[in-house]
Structure 1
Amino acid sequence: MRNYILGLALLGAFFLGLSPASGAEAIDLFDIQVDLQPDSSFVVTETIVYEFGDNYKHGIYRDIPLRHHRDVDTGYGQIKGAYNVRLHVLGVGNERGEGRLFKVIHQGDGVRIRIGSPETTVTGTQIYKIRYVVQRAINYFAEWDEFYWNATGHQWNVPIRKAQVKVVLPGKDPAPLVKAANFVGYLGSTDSVLATEQPGFSYELTAENLSPSQGVTLVLALQKGQLQEPGKRQKLMWFLADNIILLISIGLPLFILLAMGLLYWKRGRDPDSHLPVMVQYEAPKDLNPAEVGTLLDEVAHTSDIVSTVLDLAARGYIKIKEIETKTLLFFTNTDYEFIKVKEADNQLNSFEKKFLRHLLGAKDSKKLSELKNKFYVHLSDLQDELYAALVKKKMFPRKPSSVRTSYAVVTSILIVLLGVLLVVVGIHLNQESHVPFVFVSCALSVGIAILFSRVMPRKSLKGSQAVRHCRGFEEFLSRVEKDRIKRMAEKDPQIFGRLLPYAVVLGCADEWAEKFEGLLTEPPDWYVSHHPYSPGSFRTGLLVRDLGQGMNSMANTFKSQPQSSGGSGSSGFSSGGGFSGGGFGGGGGGSW
């Protein structure tokens, strides 16, 4: 009987198309039949009688949402995530069963079935028959299994004069519905129309005169056992497929953390780093203070380079003179003058000669203030000299700066390439909503890789032995008894100034100075303070404090640069109730 009525409607629509058409577009008839299958899939057949009027269009399109965000049953528990309905278009034809040209376009959170050809147009009344199969659009509850489907969609921009929906229940001997409801109208409406149920066979309804953006939704509760619920493995595979981009984005930083940790364990750890430290009474013979500071943390800091000023002064190549000048009112400014004492000779290595040349130039003296915004251009060159010297002395197999750069650049490039791949795959898999997580994940992963790259330089066995020597020497500088220092100073009167640069880079200058309180009565001859010490007033602690302030000033000046200019899933029967537009399905369509 229903097929007979549908045939009459189609015939009437055909003859209506022969009469003069108005310019207004509309859907004369939207007939939907849903055949539920025992495996929980269902086949949807939509017959759309579309009135183009006197407009010439290529055809129509049908939009159907597929991607939802909800609590997902993974088979092993509920978790918030993306939930993708599976839809496969079986074909598109006309009232005579002839095929129509169509294209399936994945966009946003759904799919668009575009019917027609860009090279041809249609007008008047056209009949479109769309068939597609849907999977994963059933809700499973303890009491029943639920079919909750937005049959027409609410995004049509034309009126639907008549919509009729028929749901055929699954199996040869289907059981009656537990309960059923329908919702007609705008999105969120709870209005309904009279429906007809053939117990154990079908559920049918008809709605008329739907305005644009109105639609039909129905929810049917089937008895348990009529539909086969997917197994745990299938649910888990669906969940992984729907959220693969998000899951990879979450897992990528953890993977990079583990991978870089493993790389560090295999290739970044220093050999014999676990061996105990023995007290050493002299600095390493073949390492100057700047090299010691660089060796310890594998970075040539500006403070390491500045320690060379004290070292060259203690060795008699320069003298440091503190100058105090008055500025505004009672304020004063402290400057430092470096005075050449003797020319560089073969006792200096390449780094020390280059540093002395950059410090004084061709002059016999130069003030620290003259180096402001100028010396920074030499820092990179001096750092490279330090790294090269340590490699030459076989403390490192490779320059630490090169190792850090290699790991940081290579891993960052690989992460960025993986990120681009994830974005492309995410768009292809219709998971655009997860793409922002890719950017966050890649940024975090690059940060982890860069942090690990800083500790990847590996010392040689000789370098590790030198580090233990330095730590043992630090123990001596910090803990040596005053009586021992007194005896050592009697044999070597220059021991305080000679070892002070090492104490500075090892971070124990204050402790070293404390050992000499009362032993030294005047400052080293290589340092001239702006306030001369009276007999008996000299304190090594005050000297170290003044030198510390001076070295801070030097470090800030050495790296100062000119400033650049510029301008500034719920149930349809839940406590909240169902509504028009709820459930799966939906969307809408229009002409093009």
Structure 2
Amino acid sequence: MKILFALFISLFLTGPALFFAQSSTSSDDSGYTPESEYIDTYHVFIKVETNGSLLIEETISVYAASININHGIYRDIPFTKRLANGFNRVYPITIVAILKDGKEEPYHVEDNMGNTRIYLGSEDIYLTPGLYEYKIVYRIDEALNFNSDYTELYWNAIGTEWIFAINSASILIHLPGGAGDKLISHDAYIGHYGETFTNYTFERIGDILKYTADDAFQPETGFTVMTRWPNGIVAPPDEDQKFMKLFRDNTGFFVITAGIFLIMIYYIVMWFIAGRDPKKGSIMTYFDPPENLSPGAMRYILGMKYDPKIFSTTIISLAVKGKIQITEDREKYKLVVTTDTLSGMTDEEKAVFNALFSGRRSIDVDNAYHSEFAEAINKCKSTLKTRYEITYFVQNRHIFIPGLILTIIVVFTGVLLFSANFIAAFVLGWLSFWTFGVAVLIKSVGQVWIDAFTSTQKKGSKFAGAIGMTLFSSVFVAGEIVGIVILFFVMNTSYWLLPVCIIAILINYIFYRLLKAPTLAGRALMDKIEGFRMYIGAAEKGRIEVLNPPAKDIATFEKFLPYALTFDMEKNWAGYFHDVLEAAKQGPSSYSPSWYNGSSFSSSDFGSFTSSIGSGLTSALSSASTSPSSGGGGGGSSGGGGGGGGGGGW
């Protein structure tokens, strides 16, 4: 049996050469100089087998001049292609023989981003300048396309990624079982990727088809054939075989999809057990903060999380209570201590006050003091967490974190199975973190543009800041685009990877929010906060007036202004007190808040002032807490179908 196999290989290797010999061009007549490297002749013989496999022999005659070709050549053969439906198709490759000048040649194989890269030659041997003939024989399984009306060989026999010019090129195809007499079409395409030039000569002798290029090829010029014949000569796969082929070639997709489905079931079950909110009670209007809660505490409890506005409302609350004064000059803020007594402060207000003013009477809101502001923010967070979390709401992180870890494992496993490429998994991991950062940046850019358009003061500087922020962020957005291009175009990863990863992110984000739940005590307190919020928002002004609210005067306006800011209702609050503020403006001494001294205050537009102090101080405090250093007949084309790739020297 081994003797018969060896005899077959010998005939297979030498037989095509007899057919090609009549059209081969000698290197002596090539017109190339000894200083250049080129492919003199490139002949491809493809034997289509009745099981749908291809036995391919590539005969490549190259001139080596010790420029790129020192040890030999390399050949990239794609083993994965992305189909029009977005799924991957894998072409299993088996190397049969590697020869140089008729003798066995050492070689080694590496994975190169979806290509099987075959290095012909040995790194211990250097070639002397001259002409060498290489033969690469390999088998490709499951290579044919089966349509309802025909069987098709659509094959990029000479890839578009060769770095050398090619003097003479031809393709010989041996069809099975009389298919040559029943051809439906026999097209070929020459050119760079996507081009459809047809400057070739076609010949047929029985089941042998020959395509000969009329002209020499420039580097990165390919030669693709598209041949169709009636069904029945090669047995097509049945539906079960088609599905198994799809499953094998896209195992990563099915792993990620099944994994995400199971993780979603896990989240749903755990939400049903531990994450459902207690039923809301009846909401009654409150005219004072329930349980003497601070503005920051109310926002923390309602949102069941910390956000930057909690810190700014805490600062404003300290100012309104007369503990500090906020001064502002051209959007530069400064906090000045007015009294050292801590009476009347809540726990988080005391923590912030001590962190900022230990050993000083004032502090500029500037990132020169980023460590002080970062410490104050951390103290504010930790105090609120200790005081209110668990008692009034639970994050259920012990449920969410396992789901998140499982999602990461499933996605990375799927990516590795999708591409069989660790680099692709690394790029996806990098892209995931990068995407998160870019999303935060884009959100910030949107906010600064909103501030620029809605601000009534210093519009020029705000627009300049928005433009600067946009330009800064564009660099990171460009990095995001480059990462996506590398992942989905250079590495040829399936398009389905992106939507399933987005779905995975969305599921985790949705359940991160859903799993947070108030306790029974928290639900009761939230109902009271909602009642106080109704008063601050003046949502039912007529009903509020009937219920004997607090005196409608400047003192009440200032006392509850931090709460209006924490509820994002500062304009509603200013509107509710519009007549009082207008009267104060017309009085003997025009109203000006004692807790604030700066250019943003305007007695003619209290609504804009309250919005400006809230957004401006929040932005300034966020910046101050950041370290300064962070920052044809068949519709084909050249390069289409299976096969392809290219090569070079090493």
Q: Structure 1 530/361 Cα, relative in aligned 2: closer, same or farther at 3 Å?
A: farther
Q: Structure 1 210/413 Cα, relative in aligned 2: closer, same or farther at 3 Å?
A: same
Residues in 2 aligned to 1:405 and 1:151: alpha-carbon distance in whole angstroms = 55
Name the amino acid aligned to 1:305: T
2:521 is matched with: 462
Residues in 1 aligned to 2:317 and 2:16: alpha-carbon distance in whole angstroms = 100
User: Does structure 2 conserve the Cα–Cα contact (< 8 Å) formed by 1:150 and 1:216?
Assistant: yes
User: Does structure 1 conserve the Cα–Cα contact (< 8 Å) formed by 2:319 and 2:325?
Assistant: no
Residues in 1 aligned to 2:323 and 2:63: alpha-carbon distance in whole angstroms = 98
1:302 is matched with: 311
Structure 1 residue 485 and structure 2 residue 548: aligned? yes
User: Does structure 2 conserve the Cα–Cα contact (< 8 Å) formed by 1:40 and 1:227?
Assistant: yes
Residues in 2 aligned to 1:518 and 1:54: alpha-carbon distance in whole angstroms = 90
Q: Structure 2: where are the runs of 5+ without partners?
A: 1-10, 425-485, 593-601
Give the number of equivalent residue pairs. Answer: 525
Name the SS for the 1:176 alignment partner. helix
CA displacement 1:300-323 (0-9 Å, x = unmatched): 513542564488x4xxxx599999
User: Does structure 2 conserve the Cα–Cα contact (< 8 Å) formed by 1:90 and 1:132?
Assistant: yes
Residue identity over aligned pairs, in percent, reads 18
Per the TM alignment, residue 145 of structure 1 is displaced from its structure 2 partner at its CA by: 1.8
TM-score, normalisation: structure 2: 0.58
TM-score, normalisation: structure 1: 0.62
Name the SS for the 1:485 alignment partner. coil
Structure 1 residue 35 and structure 2 residue 35: aligned? no
2:387 is matched with: 389
Report 1:273-284 matches (<5 A): 273-278=279-284, 283-284=289-290
2:595 is matched with: none
CA displacement 1:259-312 (0-9 Å, x = unmatched): 89749935884641444435567653464554334322234513542564488x
Residues in 2 aligned to 1:495 and 1:448: alpha-carbon distance in whole angstroms = 47
- CA radius of gyration, larger in: 1
State which drifts further: 176-185 or 511-520.
Answer: 511-520
Residues in 1 aligned to 2:576 and 2:416: alpha-carbon distance in whole angstroms = 63
Residues in 1 aligned to 2:567 and 2:86: alpha-carbon distance in whole angstroms = 53
Q: Structure 1 553/335 Cα, relative in aligned 2: closer, same or farther at 3 Å?
A: farther
Structure 1 residue 178 and structure 2 residue 183: aligned? yes
Q: Among 68, 88, 91, which residue is 2:94 paired with? A: 88
1:537 is matched with: none
After superposition, the CA RMSD in angstroms is 6.4
Report 1:500-579 matches (<5 A): 500=560, 504=564, 531=590, 549=609, 553=613, 556=616, 560=621, 573-574=633-634
Residues in 2 aligned to 1:219 and 1:515: alpha-carbon distance in whole angstroms = 76
Name the SS for the 1:381 alignment partner. helix
Structure 1 residue 103 and structure 2 residue 112: aligned? no
Per the TM alignment, residue 467 of structure 1 is displaced from its structure 2 partner at its CA by: 1.1
Q: When you count helix as a share of all residues, which structure comes out higher?
A: 2
CA displacement 1:405-449 (0-9 Å, x = unmatched): 997999599749955983797362897652687799879976885
Residues in 1 aligned to 2:515 and 2:197: alpha-carbon distance in whole angstroms = 63
Q: Structure 1 27/137 Cα, relative in aligned 2: closer, same or farther at 3 Å?
A: same
Name the amino acid aligned to 1:178: L
User: Does structure 2 conserve the Cα–Cα contact (< 8 Å) formed by 1:182 and 1:193?
Assistant: no
User: Does structure 2 conserve the Cα–Cα contact (< 8 Å) formed by 1:25 and 1:53?
Assistant: yes
Per the TM alignment, residue 225 of structure 1 is displaced from its structure 2 partner at its CA by: 0.5
1:536 is matched with: none
Per the TM alignment, residue 232 of structure 1 is displaced from its structure 2 partner at its CA by: 3.3
Per the TM alignment, residue 118 of structure 1 is displaced from its structure 2 partner at its CA by: 1.9
Residues in 2 aligned to 1:411 and 1:459: alpha-carbon distance in whole angstroms = 22
Q: Among 188, 192, 198, which residue is 1:190 paired with? A: 198
1:428 is matched with: 421
Q: Structure 1 425/117 Cα, relative in aligned 2: closer, same or farther at 3 Å?
A: farther
Name the amino acid aligned to 2:548: I
User: Does structure 2 conserve the Cα–Cα contact (< 8 Å) formed by 1:183 and 1:191?
Assistant: no
Name the amino acid aligned to 2:52: S
Q: Structure 1 53/206 Cα, relative in aligned 2: closer, same or farther at 3 Å?
A: farther
Q: Structure 1: where are the runs of 5+ without partners?
A: 72-78, 534-541
CA displacement 1:200-246 (0-9 Å, x = unmatched): xx215485997455886655432221012223344444445556668
Residues in 2 aligned to 1:494 and 1:530: alpha-carbon distance in whole angstroms = 13
1:203 is matched with: 208
Residues in 2 aligned to 1:495 and 1:99: alpha-carbon distance in whole angstroms = 96
Name the amino acid aligned to 1:272: P
Q: Structure 1 415/443 Cα, relative in aligned 2: closer, same or farther at 3 Å?
A: farther
